[in-house]
């Protein structure tokens, strides 16, 4: 009996060592073909833009192209499921955002669990949101917007790129903290949501400053405030939403990279290191600063802790806001 148990243990140890050896060999030859980045959001939004930029900048370090594949829909669920079911070999990555950490508490029925079906790789950047209204709306400040919203009693609508996205939750947080009853109008992508407020189909939106600031400067929308803890360097003339009277308000959009669970740690570590090198380059930091994006760098372990903390943070905000989803 002891001999049989010893043999089983030795065999298990041998298999584990062999697996580690295969993973190490696989990592040494990585990558041998193009790397796919699945973006579960629409073309032209921050996730799509920065995934393409990151892929272009990282290509020289890996010697292989990064191919961005946009799979929008269902508040990131569709594309994320595709990534979760992909082989854990380092050739499929997920460009994710705080949409994913929100959805852990907001969406009860999902075909994946973020921290179970994926492994953290690296953060990318974060940016403030810009509160804008259609120029036809008779308001020029957050105070006037709140007063009109309370008077309208559900007559004002804000657009988002879908349930659970940062744009949706930023709107719900604004609604909860300002005591207003604004209507959420979800769209398939941030591009559609942006078009909705620019065309006047919806009256307002909280959008990434990196993509909405040019629209505001061109006069297509009226910017009222930014969503961060301090004023944005891109539009410093605007107050923060908290500064403008909605006390305690703060919301941002951040982006990161994850990979299917089981991806060899050596590959994850290399991706983390190379992505960190890209976002820390002076030219990249300068380029992103002009757009309102702030680079983020963390080790794999630090990023994992960040994700866990963000999931807990948004669980509380989901309860405060009363946001719901049918999924």
3-state secondary structure of 68: strand
The DSSP output letter for 272 is H
φ/ψ of residue 179, rounded to 5: 70, 30
pLDDT value at 185 more than 50: yes
* Number of alpha carbons in the 13 Å side-chain half-sphere of residue 80: 27
When computed from its CA atoms, the radius of gyration of the chain, rounded to whole angstroms, is: 22
pLDDT value at 261 more than 70: yes
The string of pLDDT tens digits covering residues 117-163 is 999 999 999 999 999 999 999 999 999 999 999 999 778 999 998 88
95 contact partners, CB below 8 Å, separation of at least 6: 37, 38, 39, 40, 41, 47, 50, 51, 68, 124, 255, 256, 257
Global pTM value: 0.84
φ/ψ of residue 184, rounded to 5: -85, 130
Among the listed residues 94, 122, 76, the one whose alpha carbon sits nearest the alpha carbon of residue 37: 94
Prior bond to 31 cis, omega within 30? yes
DSSP string, 225-269: EE-SSS--SSSTTSPBTTTTT-TT---EEEEEEEEETT--HHHHH
153 contact partners, CB below 8 Å, separation of at least 6: 181
CB 127 within 8 A of CB 211: no
- Sketch out the chain's domains with CATH numbers: 33-126+253-321 (3.40.190.150), 128-226 (3.40.190.10)
Q: How far apart are CA 35 and CA 238, in angstroms?
A: 40
pLDDT value at 88 more than 50: yes
Alpha helices, H only, the chain? 2-28, 46-62, 77-84, 98-106, 114-117, 142-152, 166-178, 190-199, 209-217, 265-279, 282-291, 300-321
Q: Mean pLDDT score of the chain, rounded to an integer?
A: 90
pLDDT value at 274 more than 90: yes
Mean pLDDT of 247-273: 97
- For residue 325, the model assigns a pLDDT of 67
The string of pLDDT tens digits covering residues 219-252 is 999 999 999 999 999 999 999 999 999 999 999 9
Give the residues across from 204 on adjacent strands: 133, 158
308 contact partners, CB below 8 Å, separation of at least 6: 115
Give Cα separations from 113 to 221, 305, 311 (angstroms).
38, 16, 12
Q: Please report, rounded to a whole number, the percentage of residues in the chain having pLDDT higher than 90.
A: 79
């Amino acid at each position: 009996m002891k001999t049989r148990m010893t043999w089983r243990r030795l065999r298990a140890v041998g298999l584990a060592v062999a697996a580690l050896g295969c993973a190490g060999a696989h990592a040494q030859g990585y990558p041998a073909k193009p790397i796919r980045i699945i973006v579960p959001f629409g073309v032209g939004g921050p996730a799509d833009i920065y995934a393409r930029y990151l892929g272009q900048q990282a290509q020289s370090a890996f010697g292989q192209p990064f191919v961005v594949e946009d799979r929008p829909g269902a508040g990131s669920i569709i594309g994320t499921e595709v990534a979760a079911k992909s082989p854990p070999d380092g050739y499929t990555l997920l460009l994710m955002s705080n949409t994913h950490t929100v959805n852990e508490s907001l969406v009860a029925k999902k075909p994946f669990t973020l921290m179970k079906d994926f492994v953290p790789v690296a953060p990318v950047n974060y940016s403030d949101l810009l509160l804008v209204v259609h120029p036809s709306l008779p308001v020029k400040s957050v105070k006037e917007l709140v007063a009109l919203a309370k008077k309208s009693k559900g007559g004002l609508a804000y657009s988002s790129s879908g349930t659970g996205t940062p744009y949706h939750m930023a709107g719900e947080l604004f609604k909860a903290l300002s005591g207003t009853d604004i209507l959420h109008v979800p769209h398939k992508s941030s591009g559609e949501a942006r078009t909705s407020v620019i065309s006047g189909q919806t009256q307002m939106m909280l959008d990434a400053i990196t993509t909405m600031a040019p629209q505001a400067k061109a006069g297509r929308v009226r910017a009222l405030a930014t969503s961060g803890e301090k004023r944005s360097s891109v539009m410093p003339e605007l107050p923060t939403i908290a500064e403008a009277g909605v006390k305690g308000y703060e919301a941002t959009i951040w982006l990161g990279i994850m990979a299917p669970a089981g991806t060899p740690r050596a590959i994850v570590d290399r991706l983390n290191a190379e992505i960190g090198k890209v976002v820390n380059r002076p030219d990249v930091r300068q380029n992103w600063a002009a757009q309102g994006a702030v680079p983020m760098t963390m080790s794999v372990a630090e990023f994992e802790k960040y994700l866990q903390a963000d999931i807990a943070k948004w669980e509380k905000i989901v309860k405060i806001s009363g946001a719901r989803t049918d999924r």
